[in-house]
Amino acid sequence: MVQTADAIDILVVDDDRKTVDLLRLYLEQAGYSVRVAYDGRQALELARARRPDLVVLDLMLPLLDGLDVCHVLFEEAGRVPVIMLTARTTEADKLAGLETGADDYVTKPFSPRELVARVKAVLRRASVGQALHVESTFGRLTIDHIKQEARVDGALVHLTPREYRLLETLARAPERPFTRVSLVDRAFGVDYEGLERTVDAHIANLRRKIETNPGRPRYVLTVLGVGYKLAKDPVEEASGANARSG
């Protein structure tokens, strides 16, 4: 096992002890520090004692289920990377987990090696977000990458975790067009084609919250035949040309 004093701390939560032991073995071999919990309440106690760098969280848990753990964890500790681990495979179950703010969703049975690869990918995306400037400003829109908040004219915009991740993904490369597939992969980390169509709905919700006129967006623009981009220097008064771009 390769570990250092400052190893990344991963909290594994599952009521199946064999699954926990297997994950701990593979994650520790990859160099991570691993703590384990077997129910939702124990998971929160461990997270409160020391904020984990990432949580591998079963959806179906005793005492407190995975969705409730996510809600409480995010309220108390802020955004923590979460990979949902569950036997549930329906689209509704996946969407429920991801809507809570989970970064990825792995269904049982799974490959431990694939799970470790997904852990690395989620942590990499999280570190990229932390490496951004403290704030990014686009016209009247300001994105605080530390607090993970967005403001328009100084007023806080209440975004869902998914809406924020979409906005931050676009902000990493303003003026760069992102395809829907790319946004799903970069913002949600989910290898699931069924989620592509939900990008349009989330973009529409995002526009309603940050745009003065969602029908003529200044910030999040549609790139025909490609997907979406964030305007680096948004026009403060929506012009006819910009309306066509949106």
Tens of pLDDT, residue by residue over 130-156, are 544 567 889 999 988 777 889 999 999
Cβ atoms 65, 88 nearer than 8 A = no
Q: Which whole-number Å values give the CA distances from 26 to 10, 64, 76, 103, in the listed order?
A: 12, 26, 29, 20
Tens of pLDDT, residue by residue over 143-196, are 887 778 899 999 999 998 888 888 988 887 888 888 888 787 767 655 445 566
Cβ atoms 139, 234 nearer than 8 A = yes
My answer on whether 60 and 173 are in the same domain is no
My answer on whether 155 and 224 are in the same domain is yes
Is residue 1 situated within a structural domain? no
My answer on whether 125 and 162 are in the same domain is no
Distance in angstroms (rounded) separating the CA atoms of residues 225 and 204: 17
Is residue 238 situated within a structural domain? yes
Which among 77-86, 143-152, 219-228 has the top mean pLDDT?
A: 219-228
What is the reported pLDDT for 195? 63
**Domain range holding 93?**
9-130
Among 130, 145, 173, the domain-final residue is: 130
The number of folded domains in the chain is 2
* CATH number of the CATH domain containing 112: 3.40.50.2300
User: At a CB cut-off of 8 Å and minimum separation 6, what does 240 contact?
Assistant: none
Is residue 4 situated within a structural domain? no
My answer on whether 222 and 121 are in the same domain is no
Among 76, 106, 130, the domain-final residue is: 130
Is residue 169 situated within a structural domain? yes
Higher-scoring residue by pLDDT: 8, 22: 22
pTM of the model: 0.55
Is residue 2 situated within a structural domain? no
Is residue 228 situated within a structural domain? yes
Among 65, 100, 130, the domain-final residue is: 130
**Among 103-112, 124-133, 200-209, the least confident range:** 124-133
